[in-house]
Structure 1
Amino acid sequence: MTQDLLFNVLVLHGPNLNLLGQREPGIYGMVTLDEINRLLVAEGVKLQAKVHHIQSNHEGALVDAVQEAGKEYQGILINPGAYTHTSIALRDAIAGVKIPTVEVHLSNIYQREAFRHHSYIAPVAIGQISGFGAESYRLGLEALIYHLKNQTKA
């Protein structure tokens, strides 16, 4: 028996995440972005969600994707990469569209350099998950779908 898909979720990957699997594997692991995307699509089916993904190294492209998300998506899962710590524009876009958003990071940003300890995204996200490698994405998707299902019931 096939379950109907209830939600469309947009996954946004920020700068340099296209280099996963080769960039600083001691910090980010050996899992590639394609592997993460396949994991999220499969997990989405289990959670009754269709998962779409976009990666960009360009802040404006990510802002555009967030602004357009309201037309099609009920939730956003985002790893803003370095824009976490620098992008007021991305923060303002997320706040402006009022779509439930979960922030994820592969590494624990609070155990790293001091400049990584501040997130402009966290105050406008419903939650943040970091430090579990690629599993952070799966946990973030699960938390987002849980939130959306409870929001639908209310």
Structure 2
Amino acid sequence: MKIIIINGPNLNLLGKREPEVYGNETFESYFEKLQIQFPTITLDYFQSNIEGEIISKIQETSFAYDGIVLNAGAYTHTSIGIGDAVKAVTTPVIEVHISNTFSRESFRHQSYISPNAKGVIIGFGLQSYELALKSFV
């Protein structure tokens, strides 16, 4: 099984940015733990702060992977283009969020990805990614 994790804007700052919301661990460190925890899955990782690069990566990888774990960050709430990319591909996409977006500002309650995702996992910290991977196996 081959799965890619795609992270959006500002997630490259995990471990530094708002640790009270996002924790103290970098995503790279956490990704290494996921690779050890899921040795039977080929895991790849991509992060971009640029909306078009995320759309291109979804399109590029979707037909070559068994699943996509997508945390589009703030683009979740603003990008019709990312939502359309998820809708356009046949590879199942699990939308994840580290924080509980419904306990935050009201603009974070809208997702353009959710209607086209296989499922949504919100609010379990970095463990949200682990839960998404478990849903594929």
Q: TM tier, shorter chain?
A: over 0.9
Do residues 39 (structure 1) and 64 (structure 2) align? no
Contact 2:63 2:90 in 1 (8 A): no
Aligned length: 137
Which of these residues, 43, 47, 60, is aligned with residue 55 of structure 1?
Answer: 47
- Structure 1 length normalisation: TM-score? 0.85
Between Structure 1 and Structure 2, whose CA radius of gyration is higher? 1
Question: Percent same amino acid among aligned pairs?
Answer: 45
Contact 1:41 1:52 in 2 (8 A): no
User: Could you say what the CA RMSD is over the residues aligned between the two structures, in angstroms?
Assistant: 1.0
SS of corresponding position for 2:96: strand
Q: Which residue identity lines up with residue 2 of structure 2 in the other structure?
A: N
Gap runs ≥5 in structure 1: 1-6, 147-154
Q: Which residue of 1 aligns with 2:106?
A: 114
Structure 1 runs of 4+ off > 3 angstroms?
none
Which of these residues, 71, 85, 88, is aligned with residue 79 of structure 1?
Answer: 71
SS of corresponding position for 1:110: helix
Contact 1:85 1:115 in 2 (8 A): yes
SS of corresponding position for 1:129: strand
* CA distance in structure 1 between the partners assigned to 2:87 and 2:129 by the alignment: 21
Q: Which residue identity lines up with residue 102 of structure 2 in the other structure?
A: Y
Gap runs ≥5 in structure 2: none
Q: Which residue of 2 aligns with 1:4?
A: none
TM superposition shift of 1:70: 2.9
* CA distance in structure 1 between the partners assigned to 2:121 and 2:69 by the alignment: 10
Q: Which residue of 2 aligns with 1:141?
A: 133
Contact 2:3 2:65 in 1 (8 A): yes
Q: What whole-Å deviation, never above 9, does each CA across 1:43-102 have from its counterpart, x for those lacking one? A: 331xx2111000000001100000011342111001110011001101111110121000
